Structure 1
Amino acid sequence: MASEYYHIKCPKNVQSKYSLLVFTQDKEPFLPLTKFYYYQQKRISEGTALSYLKALERFFSWLSISSNYQGVRVKWSDNHLAVRAAIEDYLIYKLGCKLRSKEDFQLVIMTRKSPQTINHFLAAIKSFYKTALHLKLYTFQNPLIDAEYNIKIGNKTSLSMRENKPRLPKIAGTEIPSSPSYRKYSDSYFKLVATEWKPSIIADQDLPYIIYRAGSQIGWSLRDEVIIRMLFETGARVSEILELTLGDYRQRINQYEIATHNKGSEKKRTKFLRFSQDLLKLLIRYVNGERKTHAYNKQTFTKLSDNELIFLTRNGDPYNYRTFYYHWIKITEQAKIKMNIHKTRHWFVTSMIRSIYETASDSSQIEMKKKELINYIKWKDPETIKVYEHYFDEAAFRETHEIMAKQMQKYEQEYLSGSLNHGVHNKVANTSLPTEEIEWINEFYKGME
């Protein structure tokens, strides 16, 4: 890719406070990067400042050519959410990284396609936005501040910056490690992992029922029961469930399916979720009962308008991730399990593969059903989806999913009937799947993030 941005060093016979100027491809001076270099060369070595500048020139060039946020190109000066989304895409599609979402940040995992300069780029982009904020060139929140900071602190100055106070070594004793520190919030939203990620298999078939039982023990709401059961039964991301509307359900002809958006689809309903008959009954009971109690619109399931969100708070507001996560933590603590919500998606895939092996008649049918699963889950990379589109048969997938759903009902009854004799599950059981299937699932996890 030809660089849209480039720099020229100031000729020796020209007097200027800037030792170099950055230009766009249109040969227009670009002051934000020019001022960044001028500011940084006084604070770090000239070689490091120049290497940061080159990394940023490549990123800014990519922004102007390939970035996309809500259908438009991203500018460096756009709001922090747009910039953060652009950085994510740059890491994935340009630098060949994988990202793993945590509660408040993203883990960046290098792959064989990734250059060895990922850490350098992350240092450069962090340095740029910190400098741009200091110089009042950027008017939004720092896009590299972790998510917890954005929720709790808002537009206040970052607690990780102290004016005119250098950081002292630990031996100085000025910061007690066990106490809350001014560094609780940092500008490391993207954290590089040294080695390539190899996800673990979530293979314990009792896992959903351990969670269900814990929820029942703490008196979970019907709303949270429906959402959590839907997570395990559909393999959906939690955002895909929380934003469901009544119209999404009516959009599908099959009564056990609901349309939803996919990650990166800009809220367009490009996929569907399939669930069991029992879950549909719970969903309707929630809408006609608990939801109706708290909603502004008191209509029932069949009379609510298409644009009505299914899941609401007790105040009648949209139920968001942060509020749901609070309840999820209480339930998993009751179950004595530490588990990211996204692991329900991994559990679903592993269970579907097990079901495929138990029901397929031969290896060709196994491969066909695996490809049906791939298209149901929807790979993040649209090119990968296109490769498998011609294999997908919704009717065939329904058959496989129905078998798994019936198995889940059977396993739940077995778990509950023998629950007094079950010990606490602190870790998942080993899978009985063939080694090559474990490797396939690991690769599949990467694609479906």
Structure 2
Amino acid sequence: MNVQSKYSILVFNRENELFLPLTEFYYYQQKRINESSALSYLITLERFFSWLAKSSNYQGTRVKWSDSHMAIRTAVENYLIYQMGCKLRSKENFQYVIMTKKSPQTINHFLAAIKSFYKTALHLKLYEFQNPLVDADYSISIGSFSPTSIRENKPRLPKIAGTEIPSDSSYRSQSDSYFKLVANDWKPNIIADHDLPYIIYRAGSEIGWSLRDEVVIRMLFETGARINEILELTLGDYRQRINQYEIATLNKGSEKRRIKFLRFSQDTLKLLMRYVNGERKTYAHEKQTFTKLSDSEVIFLTRRGDPYNYNAFYSQWSKIITQAKIKMNIHKTRHWFVTNMIRNIYDTASDGGEIEMKKNELINYMKWKDPETIKVYEHYFNEALFREIHENMAKKMQEYEKEYLKKSHSSSEGEQLSSSVLQTKAILPTEEIEWINEFYKGME
């Protein structure tokens, strides 16, 4: 007997019983925010509710998700302190959350997820108390503001992250959150390993990945696109661009308009065409080759011929990174792309003017709303350059040490010292020795 359900995901508790609150939450959210955000909220909340059932304590008993807002607040406080390594500071009617070295970079995401859950539960009449993540005494006193500046149920990244549309700063300077995260400077996850894509490719090949997933993952690394920007590509998006190695795509906040493009390699284009004319054709409802398919046809399909979505791809991605023995979320491919693009800019540019020009081209390609975003990545390269200089110095020191030890076996200590001083004078020009002496004075 076929049973139809409105839910695309069912959540079960530790006793393998349907956990309706999270099931309803995901069903409600996936109609309002993109699937990847809804799923990431769900995963975060599953961890918290699992911890509630095993380790929470309020007045001597375990805390349930439906308990009073005071019990939930206490549980969240303990979770932030003991599970997420944060420090809390009480301030009037709310709490400051201070990250420590032990804290993960997901605190803001957790707070947004749990606040969104109780907001949704109240809306669906599943929860009878006030939202424990909202300061009940908070009041807006800034006058009128544009409703377009508010995003429902989504955490807001700082301006430097380059993802937000500028809004009324006076509105954003205040917050109704009971837990307020402080000192939360956004930093991207810099990934500089040259071999990372090839580690993923090899792992995919080892588990027998489909041609579809190979194309998608290669496009992630080669284009710097978000996963949904790739999964929602159509044949018309490819035909829209003049260059054969480019494809038009949507951008975050573009309301489905194709305002940016992605560029990929010749090898990936060959794989893409092979997929469309082969594997895709096998499962598609319209069994046509590339030239005969309509512009509206989605490029990537499931084996049932439906559009390939985030949940389906995430399942395959998890298998691949498990095989590769690494922990890595999909969005880090985007950080890897930016990191390596900037590295190549510095490696290939002939002067400062060309560096600035190429950086502006990258900013335009990525469609960053805040051009300052690139400076966060550049900071990494400034540090990396120093590391390279320091490593070269340390290598020279090792060479000199070996040379010294060799000489120490054949010469007296006094002769060695004399020789070393003479070598130093020969290596450094007079003006450089003077500069070093001045530098030393500045350090005193």
Task: Provide the TM-score with structure 2 as the length reference.
Answer: 0.50
Higher Cα radius of gyration: 2
Higher helix share: 2
